[in-house]
């Protein structure tokens, strides 16, 4: 089913919204409903609000915007809905409608989108941030509290150690011409998860795949798509369709990016986009198929797995990470939290809605206190940054790693 976000109220996908029979079965799975206990912060409440907005029955008020903005786009509701309501596409369309009627809502997103979709700009920012960290300025500002308590301080508190950006286009050797895999690095992984990108290259090579990362790739478009700028998101998606020509499987460093790539089929609605989406795989699942080729050293450590919503509810392969890491001898694998609810990172929510986001993070931090793991792993960079910042505030030094980083560290040379 192709659901293109609207360019006018008349184009809002009311037929898909009408699939919701208001049964409420999704409510116990919705983190924002469980947090607020308010119907307007539930999936069916938000669907009703969007239906009212699109048909002109209700006005676009600040309160209505808050209810729709509060949605984490975690899609836990979609995963359990018996009527197969395409909630993720609906909330994207609803936010596009809000932005169309009040463009000021998305003004701040435009420069961020430009930054994320231009590698030279990102690298320049990365160089500045490295300088900021290495010069001692970061320590000074953190100690002095000069950044205050607003969004700048929140963003700064999320900063991981920035490494020199890794090359994304290195080729590796394949067993045969059929074993190519294309790597989607995303807009921040080469800066803030450089070790994970290197790890992916080493692991895929060890399993006999030629991993290639097209240099022409750009941002997956998730921030624009979920933030109410569907035209920009579609432009980025079309660009990636060209950059990832061919028929090799596509793996994304971040599960959030992987979920967006999968959504291209719905966003663009073309046969080409559907073929592209059909090539998207979880990297852990692909490596798992050849895991017997990995020569791994034992690791005597307790490793807690955080399954991102995108891996759970969109890619729908929550066990791949655990199954792959289980190949490390002597490792003890734990679940960070058995209910696998959203940690609150949710795109930019952890910056724009810090209090709600921290409330959702608290059960994860409590689990970390209780389990006392040596490592936490997460396949999504947003979750990793949010978890790391929360752990630091908690006085914990438990590292949060990409699962491929942990696995590659155990590769025998
Ligand atoms: S979204 Fe699905 S599960 Fe939730 S109320 Fe509607 S039909 Fe029921
Ligand atoms: S996407 Fe997540 S936060 Fe939004 S309504 Fe569905 S379950 Fe709730």
Q: Provide block-wise average pLDDT over 10 residues at a time, the chain (413 residues).
A: 51 94 96 95 98 95 96 96 97 95 92 85 84 85 78 79 64 63 87 88 92 91 94 96 96 96 95 97 95 97 96 92 98 88 87 89 95 97 93 94 97 88
How far apart are alpha carbons 94 and 311 in whole angstroms?
24
Q: Is 219 helix (H, G, I), strand (E, B) or coil?
A: coil
How far apart are alpha carbons 225 and 264 in whole angstroms?
10
Task: Give yes or no: residues 145 and 239 share one domain.
Answer: no
Q: Are 203 and 407 in contact (CB under 8 A)?
A: yes
Task: Give yes or no: residues 261 and 307 share one domain.
Answer: no
Residue nearest to atom 8 of ligand 1 (CA): 23
Query: What is the pTM (predicted TM-score) of this model?
Result: 0.90
Distance 181 CA to ligand 2 centre (A): 32
Q: Is 84 in the pocket of ligand 1 (CB under 6 A)?
A: no
Q: Are 320 and 398 in contact (CB under 8 A)?
A: no
Q: What is the CATH number of the domain that holds 355?
A: 3.40.50
Residue nearest to atom 4 of ligand 1 (CA): 26
For residue 296, give its domain range: 291-409
Q: Is 20 in the pocket of ligand 1 (CB under 6 A)?
A: yes
Task: Give yes or no: residues 313 and 383 share one domain.
Answer: yes
Q: Is 28 in the pocket of ligand 1 (CB under 6 A)?
A: no
What's the Cα-to-Cα distance from 164 to each of 116, 134, 135, 190, 312, rounded to whole Å?
17, 12, 15, 8, 31
Q: What is the CATH number of the domain that holds 15?
A: 1.10.1060.10
Task: Give yes or no: residues 283 and 295 share one domain.
Answer: no
Question: How many other CB atoms sit within 10 Å of the CB of residue 24?
Answer: 13
pLDDT given for residue 3 in this prediction: 54
Domain boundary among 288, 313, 342: 288
Q: Is 83 in the pocket of ligand 1 (CB under 6 A)?
A: yes
Instruction: Report phi then psi at 59, rounded to 5.
Output: -90, 160
How far apart are alpha carbons 221 and 125 in whole angstroms?
19
User: Tokens for 107?
Assistant: 């003004």
Closest ligand 2 atom to residue 32 Cα is 3
Distance 46 CA to ligand 1 centre (A): 11
pLDDT given for residue 52 in this prediction: 96
Domain boundary among 83, 106, 129: 106
Ligand with smallest separation from the Cα of 80:
1
Ligand with smallest separation from the Cα of 25:
1
- Burial zone of 282 (CB within 10 Å; 0-12 exposed, 13-18 middle, 19+ buried): buried
Residue nearest to atom 7 of ligand 1 (CA): 20
Task: Give yes or no: residues 124 and 193 share one domain.
Answer: no
pLDDT given for residue 20 in this prediction: 98
Q: Is 73 in the pocket of ligand 2 (CB under 6 A)?
A: yes
Identify the bridge partners of residue 181 per DSSP, sorted by sequence position.
211
The reply to whether 54 falls in a domain is yes
């Amino acid at each position: 089913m192709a659901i293109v976000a609207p360019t006018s109220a008349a184009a809002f996908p009311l037929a898909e919204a009408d699939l919701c029979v208001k049964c409420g079965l999704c409510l116990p799975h919705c983190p924002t409903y469980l947090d607020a206990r308010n119907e307007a912060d539930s999936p069916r409440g938000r669907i009703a609000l969007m239906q009212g907005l699109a048909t002109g029955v209700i006005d676009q008020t600040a309160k209505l915007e808050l209810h729709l903005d509060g949605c984490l786009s975690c899609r836990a509701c979609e995963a359990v809905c018996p009527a197969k309501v395409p909630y993720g596409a609906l909330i994207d369309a609803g936010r596009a409608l809000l932005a169309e009627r009040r463009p000021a809502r998305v003004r701040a997103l435009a420069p961020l989108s430009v930054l994320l979709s231009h590698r030279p700009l990102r690298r320049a920012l990365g160089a500045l941030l490295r300088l900021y960290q290495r010069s001692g300025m970061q320590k000074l500002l953190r100690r002095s509290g000069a950044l205050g308590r607003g969004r700048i301080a929140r963003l700064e508190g999320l900063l991981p150690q920035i490494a020199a950006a890794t090359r994304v286009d290195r080729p590796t050797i394949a067993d045969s011409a059929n074993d190519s895999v294309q790597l989607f690095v995303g807009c921040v992984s080469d800066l803030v998860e450089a070790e994970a990108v290197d790890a992916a290259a080493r692991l895929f090579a060890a399993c006999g795949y030629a991993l290639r990362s097209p240099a022409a790739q750009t941002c997956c478009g998730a921030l624009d798509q979920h933030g109410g700028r569907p035209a920009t998101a579609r432009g980025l998606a079309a660009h990636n369709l060209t950059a990832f020509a061919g028929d090799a499987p596509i793996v994304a460093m971040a599960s959030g990016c992987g979920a967006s790539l999968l959504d291209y089929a719905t966003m663009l609605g073309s046969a080409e986009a559907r073929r592209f989406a059909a090539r998207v795989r979880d990297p852990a699942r692909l490596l798992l198929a050849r895991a017997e080729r990995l020569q791994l050293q034992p690791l005597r450590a307790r490793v807690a797995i955080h399954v991102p919503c995108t891996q759970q509810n969109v890619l729908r392969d929550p066990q791949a990470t655990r199954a792959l890491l289980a190949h490390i001898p002597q490792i003890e694998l734990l679940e960070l939290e058995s209910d696998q609810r959203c940690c609150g990172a949710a795109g930019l929510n952890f910056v724009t809605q810090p209090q709600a986001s921290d409330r959702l993070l608290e059960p994860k931090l409590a689990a970390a206190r209780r389990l006392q793991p040596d490592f936490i792993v997460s396949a999504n960079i947003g979750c990793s940054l949010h978890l790391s910042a929360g752990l630091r505030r908690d006085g914990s030094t438990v590292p949060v790693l990409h699962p491929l980083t942990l696995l590659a560290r155990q590769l025998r040379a």
